[in-house]
Structure formats: C-alpha cells, structure tokens
Amino acid sequence: MIYGSICSGIEAATVAWEPLGWKAAWFSEIEAFPSAVLAERWPEVVNLGDMTKIAAAVRTGEVQAPDVMVGGTPCQAFSIAGLRNGLADARGQLTLSYVELANAIDDKRIERGEEEAIFVWENVPGVLTSHDNAFGFFLAGLAGESSELHPSGGKWTHSGCVYGPQRAIAWIVKDAQYFGVAQRRKRVFVVASARKGFDPGQVLFESEGVRRDTPPSREPQTAVAGLTARGVGTCGADDNQAQAGHIIAECANGNISHTLKAEGFDGSEDGSGRGIPVIAFGGGNTGGNIDVAACLTAKGQRIDFEVETFAVHGTQDPDTNHELAHALGRNHGQENAISSGMMVRRLTPVECERLQGFPDNHTLISWRGKEAAECPDGPRYRAIGNSMAVPVMRWIGERITATLPAKKSASDYGGSKTPVEQRNLWQTPIPLFVALDAEFCLTLDAAASADNSLCNRYITEEQNTLRTSWADFLVAPGYAWLNPPYSDITPFVQKAAAESKNQIGTVMLVPADTSVGWFREAIETASEVRFIVGGRLAFINPVSGKPVSGNNKGSMLIIWHPYPRTHCQFTTVERDALMSFGARLIAKREAA
C-alpha cells in the first residue's frame, strides 16, 4: 500500500504502517520542527508543505495519487484547549481542504484506471459537538452530499456510519489506553472510501460477541465444613475453632469504612465484637485489605502497633537516580532502600514518546545548528502532543489490510510457482552485468549483500537503501546498479528518481510490464527505458546457484542519468548481443 500523509507532524502513521510493508509517497507538514524530524527520519520522502496546494498538483500529475491518504487536520478549532471556533477558524476549514484533496486523488486514480483510495482522518471528540456542526459538513463532503448532514438523535454519537452517493464512511471514538499505552487519549477516527467491495465499517467496528469459556462441570464431593460462619479460606475442621477467644477473621470489602474511634477493644467500637471488623491485610503490611485473610498471628505481623512500619527487601538500583551514587556499604552496592516522600515532576520527552508509542528519542534531532544532544525539550513536547497514538494507527492499518480482498500483487509473475522470497533474491546473470558495467561504470550495488553483490561497494538490507544516501557509497562518476525485489518495485523507482536529483545515475533491471503503476511513475522521471528483446533472461537461483529456466516475463532496463533529462527515450537491445558481449569481456579478463 502506498500512502500520502497530510498534517504529518512526526508521522505516527509511518511508524505504525512501515512494519506492515506500507510505503509513504509524500508528507505534508508546514511547522519547522516536525518538518525537521521528517527530514531526519525519512530523508527519501518528499515533504510537500502546504496541504491546500496538493489537490491541484495531484490533478496535473505532479504529485502521486496514493492508495491511502491519512491525516489529522488541526484539532484546536474543536478542542477545549482552543477557542472551539469550528469552521470559522482557518484551522477548522482544513477539514474541507481534506475533502477537496480526497476528491482530487480519487478523480486522478479513476482517470488512470485504478481503484479509488482509502481515506483515514483523526481528530478530537470535540469535533462531534462543534456548535456549527463541522462534523456534519465534513461527512457530507466525503459522502458527496450537497448539504450538511445532521445526526438523527440530535447529536453525533461516538460511532456510526454513512453510505453516501460518493463514498461509504465510518467513524468511532477510540481511547489509546486500551491499545497498550499508559495514557487516556480519546480520538475520533474516520475511514472513508468509494472502493468497490470495501466497507469502512468492517475496519472500525468490532463484534462485541466473544466465545464463552465456561468452567467444566464437577461432581459433588463430601467434605467437613468449617465450624464458624466465616472461615479463613479453608474447608475442614479446625481444633482452634472450639477454643474460647478464637477470632474469626473477616475481610472488609466495603467502599466506606466506619470512622475509627479511640474506644472499645478487639477491633470493635463497643467491645461486643460487632461494628468494625478485624481486617486482614496482605503480606504482613498495612497496604490494604485483601479478599482472603492470611493466617492470623500475634500483633498481625506488625513490628510496632503505635508506629506505621514497613518491612522492605530489595535492591537500591531500581529506586534511585542512576546519576547519583549511594553511600558505600558492606553489601556490595545492593543495600536495601525505600523511597520516601514524593514530589510532582513533569514527564520527560522520552516518556512522552513512549506514551504515544514512538521509539525512544524519535524527536531527538539536530535543531537550529545544535547537535541532537542539545535539542530543546519544548518543540519535542509540542510535536509529540500534536501527534497520534502509534498503536491505534497500527490497529487501523492492520484492519484495512485484513478488510481488503486478497489479490495477487501487480508485480507478481503470472503463473510463477517460485516462492516470492526466492524471486526477490534472483541474481543478475554475470555476462549481462559485465556488459552494462562496460557502458555505465557501475560502482554501487544499491540492493545487495556480501554474498551476492556485483560491485565492490553495496548497500545491505540492514542498511536500508531506501533510507540511505547513495552519495555516501557511490564512487563518482559511476552509476548505481539496482536489481530490486520484484515483490515491491515502486519504492525503489521512487528512490532512484530522488537520487537522480542529487546527480546520481541509476541502471535498474525490472520485469517488462508496462501495465503497472510503478512503470508509469518511472517514465515520468527516467531518462531511458531499454527493452531487452530476442529472448528472456535466465536469472540465477540464490538457493541452487543455477540459472532459472521458464522465466515467463521479459526484462527491461530503466535508466536515470545524473544530469537533467528532456524526455524519456524508449529503445531496445538484443538479449543475445548483451550476453555475448559480456561473455567476451569476461574471457579477456580471465586470459589476462
């Protein structure tokens, strides 16, 4: 899935969706600090800036119309933290700009014969109660209605759906605390699409019915019951129960207790044993009542009835600040410690990142000429607070993936029985590479490993060629060689196009399929498409090391020159001529 992001912030969506295999086509962020975070973390993804200008660029083809668009327009117009001016606020009007961009994306995709996009939107619950019915206008725009929608019950509920003439829409309020983060953060999430067979309600709504797990039935048994009305968690006779003065332990489970007074004895107010019961506390301390009483002992396991005391066993390390050392002792630095006294402190930026589900120090970047270690906290707090909860966004991405009908990837080979993981590692025939190296001086294998690299310099999967600057590896004036994983070619096309703007040339070997989206994208930026004719290539199987027979697709070379192009040129080259030329060069080298 290829997605575009508006009001990107520090990209909770990308952190959430990258593990799902989704790729970002573009971001849109205007604030300086979040834009710097995007440039630091995803330098290969373009930031388009002002979202109100993207719709026109999509319609002209300058900006890609992605499979998914995601974004949370500014919430201040609807939040209690702002003035709640709704659509009268310029920030509130960006909800309507979101609709305009959604329409432009769908129009462009329909024009190109592609399915309509899926749209994901997030905001504060206050948008549901905006005085000017901003949510009704937003839903109407997405649904394709000519006038605002009104809730049937007088106010918008926390979940619902609309099926309009243009799109189906579903919304729900989700709280981040139920997705594994330690904060209460309720937000409205909207999913909308005109795609046939895709129901947004299946993404956001979950069945409340669950499979019951009743305990197995057991046969009745005969046992001796306790003699007293309330035993101490056992069944059976107890000699002590027949003795005078035996105390019956009782657990106090009420929410409100009696007022304690300085009279009476045996834990009662009037000396009768009634009133305040004897309370069994857990673990020999006064931490609170428990449902099952512990064994009663003299003085209730308390060291001193007059003074609250605590028995502590533990090590100091978890209880202290690691930057401060304790006094040296005779227990090898593992002295018992107790934390006494409290004070309020604000959360650190790292703690805030964790509360939103981001990796530690996601927002710790070089800023305004200072090193990352000196990055101020203020911009980090603001950027984190304006972002989304990553676990919720990941859940939405997973639900979208599960809802989409299963279909064969457009980059798959029709009828191929070779496992995808092997096809992604098919190696280039050496004579072909040698022939191309003689023409282009290939000095960098941009997607390889130490075992299969065809150049002395290469970028491994761990180094992530999509995020790595090729200028750090390439030996100028040579070209980069790229035989990308055929299961997902699009991001490699985008990367080669981006590197060409940095005066780095690329030669890419791909299937000769002109019907897929990545080919249309490639010819908009590449200098030449060279079809290999006269036969199909026999790639090298990475497992057997032998040529793969029965390749059912032809191949082509897409070439980005390191200098400005005027247009994309289409040419052909004979397979046998290439292979023969490469084989002669190899023979000469071996003979020398």
* Average pLDDT for 310-337: 54
Please confirm, yes or no, whether 251 is among the known catalytic residues. Answer: no
Residue range(s) in the chain whose domain bears CATH number 3.40.50.150: 2-207+374-403
Homologous superfamily of 2-207+374-403: Vaccinia Virus protein VP39 (3.40.50.150)
Position 315 scores a pLDDT of 54
Residue 147: its H or E element: none
495-524 confidence digits (pLDDT tens) = 999 999 999 999 999 999 888 889 988 999
- Is pLDDT larger for residue 400 or for residue 291? 400
pTM for the whole structure: 0.53
**Residue in the structure block whose two tokens are 């990352």:** 372
* Active-site option among 75, 251, 375, 455: 75
The torsion of the CA quartet 416, 422, 423, 428, rounded to 10 degrees, works out to -130
Decide: residue 242, CB within 10 A, 0-12 exposed, 13-18 middle, 19+ buried.
Answer: exposed
Position 262 scores a pLDDT of 46
Query: What fold, for 420-591?
Result: Rossmann fold (3.40.50)
Measured CA distances, 421 to 416, 488, 547 (Å): 13, 12, 17
Is pLDDT at 49 greater than 80 in this prediction?
yes
d(CA 336, CA 279): 29
- pLDDT band (50, 70, 90) for residue 139: very high
Position 268 scores a pLDDT of 46
- Answer yes or no: are the C-beta atoms of 173 and 158 closer than 8 Å: yes
419-458 confidence digits (pLDDT tens) = 444 455 668 889 999 999 999 999 999 988 877 889 999 9
